[in-house]
C-alpha cells in the first residue's frame, strides 16, 4: 500500500508529466486560456489515459508477448489510442452534447497528446503489475489536470497584466511555466 | 509560393517550433545538449521526409474517411524502423533520447505536414517540404541546446554518435565557476524557450511593420 502511495505521489508531484517531462505541451499551451476548458480537457485526458492504458496492457501481455511480436508495440499502441479517442468522442457526443461542444477540436487532438502514448509505453517498460499500472495511469493524468488547472488560473490573471508586445501570449506563459517548474522542483526530496 | 520559398519558410517565418508551437514536448526535453539536439533533429527530418514522400505517393488511393489512421500507421512503421536502427548502431544516443524516439510518432509536426502539405502535393515537393521543415526543427533544437549547454556546463561538446569519439570540444574554463546548473533542468528549458519565442515573434513581425509604415507614408 505504502509503495502504491509513493508511486502516486511521485507521478503527481515529483515527476510531474508537464513540468519535468514535458509531455502534453500542446494542450498545456492551447487549452489553458480558460479554467473551464482546462478542467474539461484534464478530465477527458484522465479518462482516455486510463482506458487506453488498460487496453494496451492486456493487449501487450495477452497478444503481443505470446505471439512474440513485441516489435509491433508502437504501431499497435498508437492504433489502439487513436481508435479509443474516436470512441470517446462518439460516446461524449451522444451522451453529453454540451461537454462535446466545449471541448471542440481538442478532443480528437488527444490522439497526438504524447502523454497517452508515454503512459502506455511506461507501464510496459517499468513492468508494473496490474494494480500498479492502474495507480500509475490514474496519477499521471491527475498531475496533468492539476497543473493545467493551476496554470489556467494564472493565465486568466495574466491576460489583465501589461506585458511587452513581443512577450504577449505564449512566451510569457512559458516564463510562468518556468517559474512553476522551479517551484515544483522543491518536491524533489519528498519520497 | 515557389519551391525555394517553400523550403526556406521552415526556418523563420513558419518555424515549426517557435512560430507554430508544434513538437514542443521533444523540443523542450531533448535540447539539453548539442549531441541530443542534432540526433533528434536529424531523426525527425529523416522520418518527416520519408513519411511525406510515402503519404504523397499514396494520396490518390487513400480513402478520405480513414486518412488519419493510414498516416499514423505509415509514421509509426517508419519510427519503429528508425528506432531499431538506432538501437543497433548508436546505443549511446539511443539511451540518451530514450522514450522520445518512439514519441516521434505523436510529434504534431509530422502528422501536421502530412495533413496540410503531403496529402495535396506531389512527391518531390513533399520531400522538399519535409527536409525544409525538418531542418527548421533541427535548427530550433540547436538554438536552444546551444544556449542551454553553455550556460549549464560552460562548454560545447559534439561527439560522433557511431563510436562516441569527441569531434569537437570547446570550453571556456575561466567561466567554469559561474555555470548555472538550473539550465540543464526543466526550468531552464522553459526559460530559454520563452526568450527564443519572444525573439521570433519580433523577427516575424518586423517585415509587417515596415509595410505598415510604407502604407502610412
pLDDT at B16 over 50: yes
pLDDT value at residue B6: 67
Q: What is the C-alpha to C-alpha distance for residues B1 and B128, in angstroms, rounded to an integer?
A: 13
pLDDT value at residue B212: 55
Please report the ipTM that was assigned to this predicted complex.
Answer: 0.81
| CA of residue B60 relative to chain centroid, distance | 28
Q: Does the beta-carbon distance from B190 to A166 stay under 8 Å?
A: no
Q: Is A69 an 8 Å CB contact of chain B? A: no
Q: Does the beta-carbon distance from A74 to B189 stay under 8 Å?
A: no
Nearest CA in chain A to B108: A112
The helix (H) or strand (E) run that includes residue B188 is helix B186-216
Mean pLDDT of chain A: 84
Q: Is A185 an 8 Å CB contact of chain B? A: yes
Angle subtended by helix axes A35-59 and A130-158, to nearest 10: 160
Q: Does the beta-carbon distance from B197 to A174 stay under 8 Å?
A: yes
Q: What is the C-alpha to C-alpha distance for residues A43 and A37, in angstroms, rounded to an integer?
A: 10
Q: Quick one: which of B120, B109, B157 has its CA closest to B10? A: B109
Query: Which are the contacts of A189, defined by CB distance < 8 A and separation ≥ 6?
Result: none
- Considering only the beta carbons, identify the residue of A117, A165, A179 that sits closest to B106: A117
Nearest CA in chain B to A124: B99
Question: What is the rounded (10 degree) CA torsion for B13, B18, B23, B29?
Answer: 150
Rounded to an integer, the average pLDDT of B120-131 is: 86
Q: What is the C-alpha to C-alpha distance for residues A72 and B79, in angstroms, rounded to an integer?
A: 11
Listed by number, the residues of chain A in 27-46 with a beta carbon closer than 8 Å to a beta carbon of chain B are: 29
List, as one string, the DSSP characters of chain A: -HHHHHHHHIIIIIT-TTTTT-TTHHHHHHSTTSHHHHHHHHHHHHHHHHHHHHHHHHHIIIIITTTT-GGGHHHHHHHHHHHHHHHHHHHHHHH-HHHHHHHTTHHHHGGG-HHHHHHHHHHHHTT--HHHHHHHHHHHHHHHHHHHHHHHHHHHHHTTS---GGGTTHHHHHHHHHHHHHHHGGGGG--
Q: What is the C-alpha to C-alpha distance for residues A77 and A38, in angstroms, rounded to an integer?
A: 26
Residues B155-197 pLDDT 10s: 787 777 777 677 777 777 777 777 787 788 888 888 888 888 8
Q: Is B72 an 8 Å CB contact of chain A? A: yes
Grid coordinates standing for A61? 501481455
Q: Does the beta-carbon distance from B106 to A171 stay under 8 Å?
A: no
Q: Is A82 an 8 Å CB contact of chain B? A: yes
Which of A95-109, A164-178, B46-60 is least confident?
A: A95-109
Q: What is the C-alpha to C-alpha distance for residues B186 and A142, in angstroms, rounded to an integer?
A: 20
| Number of domains observed in the structure of chain A | 1
Q: What is the C-alpha to C-alpha distance for residues B137 and A5, in angstroms, rounded to an integer?
A: 40
pLDDT at A8 over 70: yes
pLDDT value at residue B9: 67
pLDDT at A73 over 80: yes
pLDDT at B1 over 60: no
Question: What is the rounded (10 degree) CA torsion for B203, B133, B33, B21?
Answer: 60
Rounded to an integer, the average pLDDT of A41-63 is: 88
Which of A38-47, B117-126, B145-154, B175-184 is least confident?
A: B175-184
Q: What is the C-alpha to C-alpha distance for residues B104 and B97, in angstroms, rounded to an integer?
A: 11
Q: Do residues B15 and B136 make contact, with C-beta atoms less than 8 angstroms apart? A: yes
Residues B64-104 pLDDT 10s: 777 878 888 889 999 999 988 888 888 888 888 878 888 88
Q: Do residues B26 and B103 make contact, with C-beta atoms less than 8 angstroms apart? A: yes
pLDDT value at residue B104: 83
The helix (H) or strand (E) run that includes residue B193 is helix B186-216
Q: Does the beta-carbon distance from A185 to B186 stay under 8 Å?
A: yes
pLDDT value at residue B47: 92
Helix (H, G, I), strand (E, B) or coil at B23: coil
Residues A130-170 pLDDT 10s: 888 999 999 999 999 999 899 999 988 888 888 888 788 88
pLDDT at B217 over 50: no
What count of residues does chain B have? 217
Q: What is the C-alpha to C-alpha distance for residues B176 and B154, in angstroms, rounded to an integer?
A: 6
Q: Does the beta-carbon distance from B25 to A178 stay under 8 Å?
A: no
Number of CB atoms found within 10 A of residue B168's CB: 9
Nearest CA in chain A to B28: A22
Q: Is B189 an 8 Å CB contact of chain A? A: yes
pLDDT value at residue A138: 92
Mutation site, B105, B107, B148, B151, interface A, largest A CB count within 10 A: B105
Q: Which residues pair with B166 in a beta bridge?
A: B159
Nearest CA in chain A to B68: A82
Mutation site, B25, B77, B95, B200, interface A, largest A CB count within 10 A: B25
Nearest CA in chain B to A168: B198
Q: Quick one: which of B90, B94, B101, B88 has its CA closest to B163? A: B90
| Helical spans, DSSP H, in B31-122 | 34-57, 67-89, 91-97, 99-102, 108-113
List, as one string, the DSSP characters of B112-147: HHIIIIITTS-HHHHHHHHHHHHHHHHHHHHHHHHH
- Which residues form the domain of A134? 2-189
| Number of domains observed in the structure of chain B | 1
Q: Does the beta-carbon distance from A178 to B191 stay under 8 Å?
A: yes
Q: Is A16 an 8 Å CB contact of chain B? A: no
- Which residues form the domain of B77? 3-216
Q: Is B184 an 8 Å CB contact of chain A? A: no
**How far A185 CA lies from chain B's nearest CA (Å)?**
9
Residues B93-120 pLDDT 10s: 888 887 888 888 877 788 888 888 888 8
Residues B34-70 pLDDT 10s: 888 888 888 889 999 999 999 998 888 888 777 878 8
Amino acid at each position: 500500500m505504502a509503495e502504491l502511495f509513493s508511486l502516486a505521489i511521485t507521478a503527481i508531484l515529483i515527476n510531474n508529466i508537464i513540468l519535468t517531462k514535458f509531455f502534453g505541451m500542446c494542450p498545456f499551451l492551447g487549452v489553458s486560456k480558460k479554467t473551464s476548458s482546462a478542467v474539461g480537457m484534464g478530465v477527458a485526458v484522465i479518462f482516455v489515459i486510463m482506458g487506453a492504458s488498460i487496453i494496451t496492457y492486456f493487449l501487450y501481455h495477452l497478444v503481443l508477448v505470446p505471439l512474440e511480436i513485441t516489435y509491433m508495440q508502437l504501431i499497435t499502441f498508437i492504433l489502439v489510442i487513436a481508435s479509443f479517442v474516436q470512441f470517446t468522442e462518439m460516446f461524449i457526443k451522444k451522451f453529453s452534447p454540451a461537454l462535446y461542444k466545449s471541448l471542440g477540436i481538442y478532443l480528437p487532438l488527444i490522439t497526438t497528446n504524447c502523454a497517452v502514448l508515454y503512459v502506455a509505453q511506461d507501464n510496459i517498460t517499468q513492468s508494473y503489475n496490474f494494480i500498479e499500472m492502474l495507480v500509475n495511469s490514474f496519477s499521471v493524468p491527475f498531475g496533468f489536470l492539476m497543473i493545467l488547472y493551476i496554470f489556467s488560473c494564472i493565465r486568466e490573471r495574466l491576460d489583465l497584466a501589461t506585458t511587452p508586445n513581443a512577450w504577449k501570449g505564449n512566451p510569457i506563459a512559458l516564463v510562468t511555466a518556468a517559474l512553476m517548474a522551479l517551484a515544483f522542483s522543491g518536491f524533489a526530496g519528498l519520497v | 509560393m515557389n519551391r525555394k520559398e517553400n523550403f526556406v519558410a521552415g526556418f523563420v517565418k513558419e518555424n515549426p517550433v517557435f512560430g507554430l508551437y508544434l513538437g514542443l514536448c521533444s523540443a523542450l526535453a531533448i535540447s539539453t545538449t548539442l549531441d541530443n539536439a542534432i540526433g533528434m533533429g536529424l531523426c525527425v527530418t529523416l522520418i518527416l521526409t520519408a513519411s511525406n514522400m510515402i503519404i504523397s505517393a499514396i494520396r490518390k488511393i487513400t480513402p478520405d474517411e480513414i486518412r488519419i489512421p493510414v498516416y499514423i500507421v505509415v509514421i509509426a512503421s517508419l519510427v519503429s524502423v528508425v528506432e531499431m536502427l538506432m538501437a543497433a548502431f548508436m546505443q549511446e544516443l539511443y539511451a540518451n533520447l530514450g522514450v522520445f524516439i518512439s514519441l516521434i510518432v505523436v510529434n504534431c509536426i509530422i502528422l501536421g505536414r502530412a495533413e496540410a502539405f503531403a496529402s495535396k502535393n506531389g512527391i518531390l515537393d513533399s520531400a522538399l517540404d519535409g527536409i525544409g521543415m525538418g531542418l527548421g526543427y533541427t535548427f530550433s533544437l540547436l538554438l536552444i541546446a546551444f544556449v542551454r549547454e553553455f550556460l549549464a556546463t560552460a562548454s560545447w561538446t559534439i561527439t560522433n554518435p557511431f563510436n562516441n569519439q569527441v569531434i569537437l570540444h570547446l570550453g571556456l574554463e575561466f567561466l567554469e565557476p559561474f555555470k548555472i546548473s538550473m539550465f540543464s533542468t526543466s526550468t531552464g528549458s522553459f526559460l530559454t524557450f520563452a526568450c527564443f519565442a519572444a525573439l521570433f515573434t519580433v523577427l516575424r513581425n518586423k517585415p509587417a511593420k515596415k509595410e505598415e509604415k510604407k502604407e502610412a507614408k
